[in-house]
Amino acid sequence: MNRSTVTVPARDGCGLATDVYHAANGSLGPAPTIVERTPYGRRKPELLDMAAFFAARGYHVVLQDTRGRGDSDGVFQHYLARPHEGEDGHDLLTWICAQPWSDQQIGTVGLSYTGANQQSLAITGHPALKAQVIFDAGLNYFRSTVRQDGAFVLGQLGTYALRMALSSPQARRDPVVRAALERARDRGKEWFRRAPWRRGDSPVSALPEYEDWLLFAQDTVRYGPGWDNPQMNVEPYLDRYPDIPVLMVTSWYGHHQWATFRKLELFEGHRTAKRVIVGTWLHADPYGHPDHVGQTFFGPQSSLNMNELRLRWFDAHLRGRGASAVDASPLVTYFRMGGGGGGLDASRRLVHGGGWQTAAAWPPPGGTDIDWRFTADGRMTSRDDVAPDRRVLVVDRDRPVPTVGSSIRNPDIMPGFLTSGGCDQREVPEALDSPGTGLPLSSRPDVAAFRSEPLPADVDLSGPLYVDVWLSSDSPSCDVSVKLIDEYPRSAELPEGFHLNVTEGYRRCASWTVQVAGHEETTPTLVTLGPLHVSNVFAAGHRIRVDVATSNWPRFDRNPEAARHYTVAVHCGPDTPSRLRGSGVRSDVTGGPAEADR
């Protein structure tokens, strides 16, 4: 593989560091080009592996540091309004097309930020952009990932800002800045306990330009300028998205299932191929082909070879090789979790198992509607004659429910911060500010668990789910956290069972949502969380469970408008049906709560 390094000028003169890779045989003849623009370093091992893979198969590969990162000039402004990502990508494609080795057929790849870069580039309408493979990129980062229905995604963004600051060109050049950021890293847990942060008093205050975008993300509670650019919210611009083949890859424990399925819906009028693949891995893990996530083992069959996956897509749409087979492939390929037997592997991980499925639509055709009501005594039933009552949660804002299992990777820079992936829902010492008792989270006074009876047969839930919570509170504001749990029964290998988090949702109910008169509870207010996309087989003997809480710390920030001590009532009954529901969900309802109630 041959590499050359050039500086490609953007339209405003900013120089962007760029590596160009050609086939090992030295061929510089016209051929398609694969492009990735990244803020994470254009010579990361997985990018070098990709470059070698595609160059060996006759492609040219171009990897570029985004402005303000790596060896590129300019300023990195992650969450502030920044028109440059789309324009810089457009200018790079124009430069490629001017090279004698280009055949004007360009495909783009990338994960997360670099996936959002692809979307910003696409709406500029460059004629050489012919196909894309987008790994776990957002749609509206205000609605999900940076902020989540009103809450700040502290555990993701705080650690991300610190990690990016530590790897910045400024930290490489200035030992004083580097030392300040390293001290912040070493005191990271204390910094998170001090949130919300202020200017000059944050983990990244040594780099004011990084602090600017971190505080913008933390403090901007209303959608407006800064969020309405295509890098942060591409949805308003999708009418300008070219009708080109796009493969979108996400995962059940990733960040962007909602965004991916929403984009699939919005692309419905396009004629060219749009496909979705949903695996099990964490947000940044697909390149590692993992067979486990957190404490949960899915088996070697859950892994995919991402280079081969991308090669098939680009061979089809940049070279016309195997295009008919790729275009005839199912709309959605997804890993259905569960059915693995429930023992422990050699690493003491739960053997949850699962297998790949395909569907011509999402949710999969042939589904049914589910409507499983909560009762005040903690049951979940398909009966609609639930007695009117309520379940009261007693909340201490200073003792939030710890984050145990999530789509956020425990950051390498801050071990012991939170636990990631599929985990037993217990107070474990590995989670920040967890009491470490080992007791179930469902036993806490600020968590309400609603369970089915033990299932008489397997239940496959595949599709978008919603949780309706009718609540009232004596706090001017409160958060609602929900988790769908696959509750394993006790066994010789699992003497306490295993309470596996399958999916989750979160929403902040501001003072204009929860009405308060003095300290008296008011008329119940409906809060709906979803769609929560899922595919899981709940095995016979298991229970389907929904946990309702008011916090998930430190994944989400503490609600600054909530009272320090307060109560929340979850209302149940015909007029206030708190419930788990879904329309057209693939579900074996004969084994669900309806059967267990008879």
Q: What is the pLDDT of residues 166-195, one digit of tens each?
A: 999 999 999 999 999 999 999 999 999 999
- 178 and 215 assigned to the same domain: yes
Q: What is the pLDDT of residues 35-69, one digit of tens each?
A: 999 999 999 999 999 999 999 999 999 999 999 99
Mean pLDDT on 503-522: 65
DSSP conformation letters of 147-176: EETTEE-HHHHHHHHHHHHHTSHHHHH-HH
Confidence of residue 593 (pLDDT cuts 50, 70, 90): low
Confidence of residue 397 (pLDDT cuts 50, 70, 90): very high
Instruction: Kindly provide the residue ranges of all beta strands, DSSP E only, lying in 410-513, ordered along the sequence.
Output: 447-451, 459-473, 478-488, 498-509
The domain total for the chain is 3
Stated pTM of the model = 0.94
**What local confidence, expressed as pLDDT, does residue 513 receive?**
44
The residues near 325 (Cβ < 8 Å, ≥ 6 apart) are 316
SS3 content of the chain, % helix, strand, coil (to 5): 20, 35, 45
Integer CA distances (angstroms), 264 to 181, 233, 268, in order:
40, 15, 6
Residue with tokens 């050699």: 346
**pLDDT score of 516 more than 60:** no
| Amino acid identity for residue 250 in this structure | T
- 251 and 132 assigned to the same domain: yes
Of 335, 359, 383, the residue that ends a domain is 359
Domain encompassing residue 430: 368-596
Distance of alpha carbon 374 from the chain centroid? 27
Does 209 map to a domain?
yes
Does 556 map to a domain?
yes
Does 245 map to a domain?
yes
CA atoms within 13 A on the CB side of 187: 12
- 190 and 236 assigned to the same domain: no
**pLDDT score of 515 more than 70:** no
**pLDDT score of 115 more than 90:** yes
DSSP state of 98: T
Mean pLDDT on 249-268: 95
DSSP state of 309: H
Does 147 map to a domain?
no
Residue with tokens 């160059």: 55
- 295 and 381 assigned to the same domain: no
Confidence of residue 382 (pLDDT cuts 50, 70, 90): very high
Does 480 map to a domain?
yes
More confident residue, 420 or 65: 65
- 452 and 374 assigned to the same domain: yes
**pLDDT score of 512 more than 70:** no
Other CB atoms within 10 A of residue 125 CB: 12
Other CB atoms within 10 A of residue 535 CB: 27
**pLDDT score of 595 more than 70:** no
CB 244 within 8 A of CB 313: no
Distance of alpha carbon 382 from the chain centroid? 30
Mean pLDDT on 451-470: 97
- 387 and 514 assigned to the same domain: yes
Integer CA distances (angstroms), 409 to 42, 283, 285, 530, in order:
22, 7, 9, 22
Integer CA distances (angstroms), 99 to 38, 205, 245, 556, in order:
21, 43, 24, 47
- 187 and 238 assigned to the same domain: no
Other CB atoms within 10 A of residue 585 CB: 22
Percent of the chain with pLDDT over 90: 82
